[in-house]
Amino acid sequence: MTQQPNWSERFESALHPAIARFNASINFDIELIEYDLTGSIAHAKMLGKCDIIPPAEAEQLVAGLEQIRQEYREGKFNPGIDAEDVHFAVERRLTEIVGDAGKKLHTARSRNDQVGTDTRLYLRDQIQQIRSQLREFQTALLDIADNNVETLIPGYTHLQRAQPVSLAHHLLAYYQMLQRDWERLGDVSRRVNISPLGCGALAGTTFPIDRHYTAELLKFDKVYANSLDGVSDRDFAIEFLCAASLIMVHLSRLSEEVILWASEEFRFVTLKDSCATGSSIMPQKKNPDVPELVRGKTGRVFGHLQAMLVIMKGLPLAYNKDLQEDKECLFDSVNTVKGCLEAMTILLKEGLEFRPQRLASAVASDFSNATDVADYLAAKGVPFREAYNLVGKVVKTSIAADKLLKDLTLLEWQQIHPAFQEDIYEAIAPRQVVAARNSYGGTGFAQIEKALLAARTEIAF
Ligand code: ARG
């Protein structure tokens, strides 16, 4: 049976059913129910404490709200479209449970400050969950890095072989990106954790409420200082979506690398069966669906960020119904980031098998040690640019002769420049090329050991 809307006394006729469906948010804002109940419980307690309603009635409200929580968890609370949104749905059910006292819950409150409160409580919780998922992901990266300090992999610029690096160093780069994401979410959290409760519809309230008390009950750090701002601010959501987008950028870049590495052209990694998929027609295929999906889903999160910016840009103060559109942007982004982090963590933990022989032969069969020849001469006093030009010429003639630098004889080296000695061979061996880059933050093994230790210490807290 369709119930009358809350404002039926003011209106002559009922809402058109299609308009009711269009207007309703219950289909998706039911996601907020636990936070709505928590927020309402704090509000009810405050109403009792401040003698705005009799304390006994406040207790009745709290008990009724807890009962709704129970019903919801048992799958027995399933409000329909006629409820419009989660806030009306809860108030209606509360009045069924506790009678007329239920009608007092909304004293000194509006759905505008209520929904703002719910959304912030939800996001605060989700940020915490995402941060701990980031930690798991970082741990998985460190575990692989620990075992691969001495595994060398071609390093690229412009996707052209540049200089070899340690695989651990490569993975530690992602560790650092994810560390900034973890920190960024902590920063965002500080601006999510501000209470709009008590801002009312837009202008505050005539009742002697205690906003600091509800903020304290709900563990908010502070309260919005301006009621108009409190009900219409969604900066916190946009900031979260920025942070979420950056997490996705990082996951997507790693995904792209895994996809390349697993290709026949690279063959740096084999995908384990538990994390790969087959083709319906080509029997030989093993597809990297997980990183491809992560790369694809990145676009969704960027889209939500863009949507939210556009939703906000033209809104006059204070609340406008446009703001109802924030929820699906947030929920879908949260679920996407969490899903991607979970899948990518599993992929790291058990889905990738690096191919050490293939990697070793890759770094031994290119000119990615050319800089080291130039550095060798520069260390012996040849001006770097001169050394660079000499080596450029050597590379050109070696390619023409189908040789690598390691194939040149000492005589040939000395014809290029008399400073070359027997130790040039050691200097251009891949392992030495990597070990020698021992500047702070470089790929030298000693640096990596320090970086690993620092990372382990960092995430221990
Ligand atoms: N469902 C609404 C939303 O998500 C709740 C607030 C409605 N406020 C109002 N003044 N109509 O934004």
324 close to ligand 1 (CB < 6 Angstrom): yes
Task: Write out the two tokens for 101.
Answer: 């006292």
Percentage of the chain modeled with pLDDT above 70: 99
Q: How far is the CA of 306 from the centre of ligand 1 (A)?
A: 21
193 close to ligand 1 (CB < 6 Angstrom): no
User: What's the burial of 286, exposed, middle or buried (CB within 10 Å: 0-12/13-18/19+)?
Assistant: middle
Q: Tokens 């460190």, residue?
A: 142
**Closest atom, ligand 1, to C-alpha of 111:** 6
Tell me phi and psi for residue 155, to 5 degrees. -100, 145
103: nearest Cα among 6, 198, 225:
6
227: nearest Cα among 308, 108, 121, 123:
108
* Res. 390 pLDDT band, cuts 50 70 90: very high
pLDDT in tens, 236-282: 999 999 999 999 999 999 999 999 999 999 999 999 988 898 888 88
Give me the mean pLDDT over the 158-171 stretch.
97
What pLDDT is attached to residue 8? 79
Q: ∠ CA(376), CA(382), CA(385), 5° rounding?
A: 90
d(C-alpha 341, C-alpha 137), whole Å: 7
pLDDT at 304 over 70: yes
Percentage of the chain modeled with pLDDT above 90: 93
What pLDDT is attached to residue 275? 87
**Closest atom, ligand 1, to C-alpha of 87:** 5
Domains and CATH numbers, the chain: 17-107 (1.10.275.10), 112-207+222-356 (1.20.200.10), 366-456 (1.10.40.30)
* Res. 204 pLDDT band, cuts 50 70 90: very high
The alpha helices in 149-226, defined as continuous H runs, are 167-192, 211-217
* Res. 12 pLDDT band, cuts 50 70 90: confident
196: nearest Cα among 177, 179, 172, 221:
221
Which letter does DSSP use for residue 148 in this model? T
Do residues 271 and 262 touch, judged by C-beta distance below 8 A? yes
pLDDT at 152 over 90: yes
d(C-alpha 354, C-alpha 333), whole Å: 31
pLDDT in tens, 98-109: 999 999 999 999
* Res. 13 pLDDT band, cuts 50 70 90: confident
**Bridge partners for 352 per DSSP:** 271
Task: Write out the two tokens for 115.
Answer: 């929904």
- The pick from 320, 324, 331 for probing ligand 1's pocket by mutation, whose C-beta has the most ligand atoms within 8 angstroms, reads 324
What pLDDT is attached to residue 1? 42
Q: ∠ CA(26), CA(31), CA(32), 5° rounding?
A: 90
Do residues 197 and 110 touch, judged by C-beta distance below 8 A? no
Q: Tokens 């530690």, residue?
A: 172
Kindly name the residue from 132, 263, 279, 365 that is annotated as catalytic: 279
Q: How far is the CA of 321 from the centre of ligand 1 (A)?
A: 6
319 close to ligand 1 (CB < 6 Angstrom): yes
Give me the mean pLDDT over the 362-383 stretch.
96
d(C-alpha 324, C-alpha 332), whole Å: 14
- Sequence letter at residue 207: F
Do residues 72 and 230 touch, judged by C-beta distance below 8 A? no
Which letter does DSSP use for residue 225 in this model? S
Give me the mean pLDDT over the 339-361 stretch.
97
pLDDT in tens, 106-139: 999 999 999 999 999 999 999 999 999 999 999 9
371: nearest Cα among 427, 321, 445:
427
